[in-house]
Amino acid sequence: MRKCLTVTFLWLWSIMTFAGCAGAGAAFATPPVTPANTATWKPSPAHTPNVLSPVERSSELTTYLIHGDEHTNVAQAQAQLFQEGLRFYLIVVSPQSTGLEADIYQDLVKRNIRATTGPDEGFDTQSVECHPNCVFIYGEAVNALSVASWKNVLRHEQRHMVQAANNPDLAREFRQGTEGLFTTYAAFLEACADDGILVAEEIYHASERMPVLKDALGAENYTTLERACQGIPEAYDRVVKIYEAKKGTGAFVRLFPPYQ
């Protein structure tokens, strides 16, 4: 079973629409987002109360939530994005998870992050039925953010879904094994995913690096940059080439250095 997806999201410089497979999904304009600094989060027993009215879940929406509780903040955020036209699977991973989900859970714990689509953390999720439209959520974090903050995190993750759809080798190109460093390609795609959302500014520095890149590329190359941000390898190679032609060999790696 492959659910159908139409994903529309707002880049700073343009709106693009990605159609994942045939089927319905309302196009929408993403509302402005509020920066939410979440990168230094640690697990805490204090849960953020959900003060927003719960969204009534349709039977379709229920199928997009796996191992999760619909009353949690992250599930409410998913429900609100669903109402705006976004379709993706939320998979809550925990100590009870098995197989690939257990591996992803352990990595989320180790790296102290709340959510991943998998490929953006170096895990090949192509065997998972919902690939590339899956978000794996750290079970202890489901209420650690407000609904509004979770929506921003999920919007960031949704951009990785587009990247994964456009590059089957995304997982391998992000990270050389689960113990290796994340690559320059990863640093670039993370900045793209976080551009204008800023849920992990301390790690990905989107607000510093993307303006530098855009300035160097110039408006005439924004379409290429947009395609590169969508994970398209040829467009990425072109962006690196244009940037280094203007800034010198090695400049792109200096702007987007590999990271732990």
Residues that bind Zn ion (CB under 5 A): 120, 190, 193
Considering beta carbons, is residue 114 or 227 the nearer one to Zn ion? Answer: 114
Q: Cβ closer to Zn ion: 87 or 114?
A: 114
Q: What's the min distance (Å) between Cβ of 159 and Zn ion?
A: 8
User: How open is the CA angle 18-23-25, to the nearest 5 degrees?
Assistant: 65
Q: Which residues of 205-241 are buried (b: 16+ CB within 10 A; e: fewer)?
A: bbeebbeebbebbeeebeebbbbbbbbbbebbebbbe
d(CA 79, CA 18): 20
| Closer of 157 and 221 to Zn ion (Cβ) | 157
In whole angstroms, the minimum distance from the beta carbon of 200 to Zn ion comes to 7
Shortest distance, position 246 Cβ to Zn ion, whole Å:
27
Question: Chain-centre distance of CA 168, in angstroms?
Answer: 16
Complex with Zn ion: residue 125 or 221, whichever CB lies closer: 125
Identify which of residues 160 and 227 has a Cβ nearer to Zn ion in the complex. 160
Q: How far is the CB of 204 from Zn ion (least distance, A)?
A: 7
What whole-number distance in Å separates Cα of residue 194 and Cα of residue 34? 12
Find the shortest distance in angstroms from Cβ 23 to Zn ion: 26
